[in-house]
Amino acid sequence: MSDIIRSDREGRGPNNGSKFEFVPTTPMSNQAQENSLNPKYLVSLILKYKWLILLFVILGGTGAWFYADTVTPTYESTGTILINAGTSGDDELSKIISQTTGVGTSSTLANEVQVLRSRDFARQIARSLIEEEPGDYRDFPVLWNEDENGNISRASEEAVTGRIRRNLSIVRPERDSELLEVSFESPSPIETSHISNKAMEIYVESSTQENRRAAELTAEFLEREKRDIEQKLQESERRLQEFMDNTGIVQMDEQASGIVTRQTSIEMELQQVNLELESVNQAIQNHEQRMESLKPGLSEQFSEAVGPRIRNSQEQLARYESERTLILTKNPNVRERETTPPRLKYLDEEIERVKNEIRELSAQLFTEDEEYTGMDSEERAQMIATIQTRLTELRIQQNQLQSRSQALAQSKEEIDQDLNSLPEGMMQLARLQRDVALNEELFVNVSENYAEMSVLKQSQFGFGRIVDSALTPTIPVSPNKKILLIIGIMLGGIVSGGFIFIREFMDNSVNNLEMLKTSYLPLLAAVPVLDKVSKKSKKSFKNGSGKIPDELVLLRDRSNLASEAIRRLKNNLIYQNGDYPPKTIAITSAEKGDGKSTVVSNLAVSFAEDGYKTLLIDTDFRRPKLHSYFGHDNESGLTDYLSGRIKLVKLMKDTDINMLKLITSGGRHEAPDTVVNSKKFNDFLNQMEEVFDIIILDTPPFGIVSDSTALLKRAKSTVLVTKYRKTNRGVFQKTVEDLERINANISGIVVNGFDHKKETSGYYGSGYYKSMYESYESYV
């Protein structure tokens, strides 16, 4: 409750006035929120609903287990393959193939992973399976279709390809490792291992075939080149021999011989540079196409990023290398001198400096993770970074080769000029001998490459090597019954928690004693739920008709827990403000059905048993009950007496307790609120106070009916009864406020229908009532 009017009860007596003050208290809703954060409260709540929680947990676990039995199990088999994509076969072989075809036999692991995940690779596996026809529908469901009627038919190649691609997974277990795990999932354990192994076998075989095909093409190319060069060599030798026979010139002088030697050397070097340049250009084109397939426009972006930053340094490098080549061409023996000429030394230092500068500029194009700064995608970062790095190297190499080619071409022109300055016959002999020497050199190089290729192409293998074959699994990977069982148990716990939350925290009733623990309204007693008594075991009234009802527990079972609670209530009322009980005790409640009449009747019996002359009056004229509790009728009562229809001697009814008299409410009254407000009733009550020690009044529920306002104000003690887990909190709070507002002498609260097994608060400490009730039962 918010701010509540509190009566100052110090020194309160029958005629004492009351002082009022505002006392801030914690609202019950806030108390419930605080309870929800209290560990002891949560533990007690769990203990209270332990059987319900256990039921939901069992249902959740059982449901999960049965669900797992209805799901088709899925098996997985995994094999391991080592992919050495950096080199293939022999480094020399890769170099020859690259120089002759422009395409090397090396790759990257990222590229090969994409190959394994491609649709074309899945199609190869599908075709191999279809041709193989390994088994029936149960062993290889990937090859079959089942319609709604259960008819089985062969699946198309496209369908098989799609299924294989969906269920085939390629995983790199460690980032720096070249091992790949090839896995396949299927309802058939036989199919999983078969397809995983077949995928690895097809990859090894296809990559080997690709590399061998490249080697075959290179060998064929070298063989053609060898034949062409051999014919040129024979033709140049024939023309040289004819020239010498016709002219008689068979030897050149030292100057012409030097020119021819230099010219042959330059032309051989120029041809080699042009061949490497052609290979580099082809490699650049291949890498740009690959990059373009990953992200359109990326190759152009990369080129624009490289050009402005490196172009100037590359042009400068080309000039230095051209000048150095020219010096070395004109002075073949200059490197053999003890002291290097200053200009040549300067050029060497500048060339090295510019190369370092180019490398630094190139390094700025990449982040620490070797990823191009223009890229913001992470999906293919590794593959793109590898291609970008290689493209930078190739472009630098391309510029260097172009510079060397230009320098060699310029040197060739100068030597040609020197050659043209020789005498006519000597010049022709020099040219013919140059052609022969050049063709011989080419023939020797091509023959050596062809011989190496003829040997190496037979030992060429693919990138992959199977490390561990896939084994047929015996245990499915899904459904995982243990995981599903845990999930089912957790869901059961969550559902039970939700149910408890709705039941407890959305409950507006007085559902725990903690909310009643206030300094100004003591809890006088908690009356437990009354036990049902069979008709055969019930006792009959001596001073009335019928059997003693269950509600009158003090007459049917004095050792009952409820009887002890009533006696405790009686003692609290007697000794609350002294050694004598209040003369008039009014019992009211917040709502109907709170058990007010039950508490009233049993409290009256308890006082009478202790020797107090007790009068029990039923002033609930709308819903009277006390007459039925004691086996009497309600044909005549208080309303009849006050209206003069009966005498006082007929008003009081005897009970089975000698010291207890009963006054029933009597016939219905048109204005029940005026009965207790009348002067005659007040005089009657004053008269009864002189005769009896205690008068107990059963009043209507003050929370919903105001008939008893004057009576509650007049009573020396007012007891408010609330029903456990039934009375609305708001109505209860409003009833207390209204009682305080009329200055009623509230002695405290009685909780009726209390069940200690459902109590979650720590009103007097955790488990107080449970311990007390169990101890009482064992003691009695």
Is 404 in the same domain as 433? Answer: yes
Global pTM value = 0.53
Q: What is the rounded CA–CA span in Å between residue 720 and residue 521?
A: 9
- Among the residue ranges 377-381, 454-458, 601-605, 672-676, the one predicted with the least confidence is 377-381
pLDDT score for 151 = 84
629 pLDDT exceeds 60?
yes
The answer to whether 4 touches 23, Cβ cutoff 8 Å, is yes
317 vs 355: CA distance, rounded Å: 7
Q: Is 473 among the domain residues?
A: no
In a domain, 415, yes or no: yes
Min mean pLDDT across 98-102, 124-128, 376-380 is at 376-380
Report residue 169 as tokens. Answer: 């997974």
Decide if 739 contacts 587 (C-beta within 8 A).
Answer: no
- Is 22 inside any structural domain? no
Pick from 214-218, 232-236, 736-740: least confident? 214-218
Classify residue 8: in a domain, yes or no.
no
Distance of CA 728 to the CA centre of its chain: 41
Q: Are residues 395 and 485 in the same domain?
A: no
Structure confidence at residue 459 (pLDDT): 59
CATH code, 706 = 3.40.50.300
Cα torsion angle, 223, 226, 230, 231, sign: positive
Task: Write the CA distances from 437 to 7, 192, 233, 234, 415, integer angstroms.
Answer: 129, 64, 9, 11, 16
How many CB atoms neighbour CB 226 within 10 A?
Answer: 18
Q: What is the mean pLDDT of residues 678-704?
A: 91
pLDDT score at 198: 92
pLDDT band for position 146 (50/70/90)?
Answer: confident
**pLDDT of residue 34 exceeding 70:** no
Q: What is the pLDDT, as a whole number, of residue 227?
A: 87
Q: What confidence score (pLDDT) does residue 439 get?
A: 81
Mean pLDDT of the chain: 78
Residue 598 has pLDDT above 90, yes or no: yes
Asked if the model's pLDDT at residue 21 lies above 80, the reply is no
Tell me, what's the pLDDT at 295? 56
What are the residues whose beta carbons fall under 8 Å from the beta carbon of 298, sequence distance 6 or more? 291, 292, 374, 375, 384
Q: What percent of the chain has pLDDT over 70?
A: 77
* Residue-level pLDDT at 617: 94
Instruction: Please indicate, yes or no, whether residues 560 and 498 belong to a single structural domain of this protein.
Output: no
Residues 516 and 455 in one domain: no
Q: Report how far residue 494's alpha carbon sits from residue 434's, in angstroms, rounded to the nearest whole number.
A: 93
Q: Which residue, 573, 578, 472, 577, is CA-closest to 186?
A: 472
pLDDT score of 25 more than 60: no
Look at the block and give the residue holding tokens 């456990």. 724
pLDDT of res. 211: 72
Same domain, 384 and 522: no
pLDDT of residue 519: 52
pLDDT band at 308 (very low <50, low <70, confident <90, very high): low
Check residue 768 and give its pLDDT: 65
Confidence of residue 677 (pLDDT cuts 50, 70, 90): confident
**Looking at residues 259-265, what average pLDDT do you find?**
72
Last residue of a domain, one of 178, 201, 224: 201
| 59 has a pLDDT exceeding 80 | yes
Query: pLDDT at residue 372 above 50?
Result: no
Query: Given this model, what pLDDT does residue 774 score?
Result: 65
| 617 and 517 both lie in a single domain | yes
Whether 2 is in a domain gets the answer no
778: confidence class by pLDDT, cuts 50, 70, 90: low
Query: How many domains does the chain divide into?
Result: 4
**More confident call, 298 vs 175:** 175
CA distances from 257 to 251, 442, 736 (A): 9, 20, 129
Residue 710, C-beta contacts closer than 8 angstroms, at least 6 positions apart = 676, 677
> Confidence class of residue 95 from pLDDT cuts 50, 70 and 90?
low
- With the C-alpha atoms ordered 704, 707, 713, 715, is the resulting torsion angle positive or negative? negative
Is residue 459 located within the same domain as residue 484? no
Residue bearing the bigger pLDDT, 673 or 566: 566
pLDDT of residue 402: 80
Structural domain including 579 reads 511-779
pLDDT of residue 601: 94
Residue whose C-alpha is closest to residue 462's, from 22, 74, 106, 18: 106
Residue 590: which of 755, 741, 758, 739 has the closest Cα? 739
Distances (CA, A) of 620 to 585, 642, 679, 682: 14, 15, 18, 16
Strand duo 75-83 + 19-24: pairing: unpaired
Is residue 619 in some structural domain?
A: yes
- Which carries the bigger pLDDT value, residue 762 or residue 572? 572
> Taking 50 as the threshold, does the pLDDT of residue 325 lie above it?
yes
| Residue 61 CA from chain centroid, whole number | 21
Q: Contacts by 553-561 with C-beta closer than 8 Å and gap 24+?
A: 553/602, 554/602, 554/605, 554/606, 554/609, 555/605, 555/656, 555/657, 557/531, 557/533, 559/780, 560/530, 560/531, 561/528, 561/773, 561/776, 561/777
pLDDT for 79 equals: 93
Contact between 462 and 204 under an 8 Å Cβ cutoff? The reply is yes
pLDDT classification of 322: cutoffs 50, 70, 90:
confident
Judged by average pLDDT, the poorest of 174-178, 179-183, 228-232 is 174-178
Highest-scoring range by mean pLDDT, 12-16, 425-429, 641-645:
641-645
Indicate the pairing of strand 152-154 with strand 144-146: antiparallel
d(CA 619, CA 176): 92
pLDDT grade for 20, boundaries at 50, 70 and 90? very low
**Alpha-carbon distance 265 to 269, whole Å?**
6
pLDDT of 290 over the 60 cut: yes
Hunting for tokens 């026809």 — which residue is that? 133
Quote the pLDDT of residue 533: 76
**Domain-embedded: residue 4:** no
Exposure string for 233-265, b = 16+ CB within 10 A, e = fewer: beebeeebeebeeeeeeeebeeebeebbbbbbb
Same domain, 138 and 221: no
Which stretch of 12-21, 50-59, 517-526 has the lowest confidence by average pLDDT? 12-21
**Does the pLDDT at position 281 exceed 70?**
yes
Overall average pLDDT of the 641-657 stretch: 88
**411 and 517 fall within a common domain:** no
Instruction: Name the residue type at position 14.
Output: P
Q: Say how far apart CA 713 and CA 106 lie, in whole Å.
A: 104
pLDDT at 379: 41
Mean pLDDT of 430-445: 78
Closest CA to 640 of 660, 664, 606: 664
Q: What is the pLDDT of residue 368?
A: 40
Which pLDDT does position 770 carry in this prediction? 63
The residue with tokens 């023996």 is: 333
pLDDT of residue 362: 58
Note whether 198 and 128 are within 8 A (CB).
yes
Residues 197 and 322 in one domain: no
Structure tokens belonging to residue 18 = 């009351």
Q: How far is CA 167 from CA 12, 131, 138, 202, in A?
A: 86, 20, 17, 17
Residue predicted with more confidence, 196 or 424 = 196
- Burial of 779: CB neighbours in 10 Å, binned 0-12, 13-18, 19+: exposed
Mean pLDDT on 649-667:
90
Distance separating alpha carbons of residues 599 and 568, to the nearest angstrom: 12
263 vs 613 pLDDT, higher one: 613
Report if residue 530 sits inside a domain: yes
Most confident range (mean pLDDT) of 339-348, 550-559, 694-703 is 694-703
Mean per-residue pLDDT, 480-500: 88
Q: Does 282 lie in the same domain as 257?
A: yes
pLDDT exceeds cutoff 90 at 31: no
448 and 492 in a common domain? no
Q: Which residue has better confidence, 315 or 687?
A: 687
Out of 410, 441, 468, pick the residue that ends a domain: 468
DSSP string computed for 25-88: ---HHHHHHHHHT-HHHHHHHHHHTHHHHHHHHHHHHHHHHHHHHHSPPBEEEEEEEEE--S--
- What is the structure's pLDDT at 27? 46
Please say if the pLDDT value at position 553 is more than 50.
yes
Q: Choose the most confident range, by mean pLDDT, from 71-85, 283-297, 307-321.
A: 71-85
Using pLDDT thresholds of 50, 70 and 90, give the confidence band for residue 353: confident
Q: Please classify residue 99 by burial: count the beta carbons closer than 10 Å to its beta carbon, then call 0-12 exposed, 13-18 middle and 19+ buried.
A: middle
Query: In this model, does residue 77 exceed pLDDT 90?
Result: yes
Tell me what pLDDT residue 382 has.
Answer: 54
* Beta-carbon contacts of residue 632 (< 8 Å; ≥ 6 apart): 544, 545, 653, 662, 664
The span from the first CA to the last CA of the chain, in angstroms, equals 40
Query: Binning pLDDT at 50, 70 and 90, where does residue 769 land?
Result: low
Angle at 492 between CA 490 and CA 497, to 5 degrees: 95
Does residue 732 have a pLDDT over 80? yes
| Pair 555, 548: CB distance under 8 Å | yes
Q: What is the pLDDT of residue 319?
A: 76
pLDDT > 90: percent of the chain: 21
Please tell me the predicted confidence (pLDDT) of residue 569.
92
Mean pLDDT for 56-66 is 89
Adjacent-strand bridge partners of 697 = 586, 617
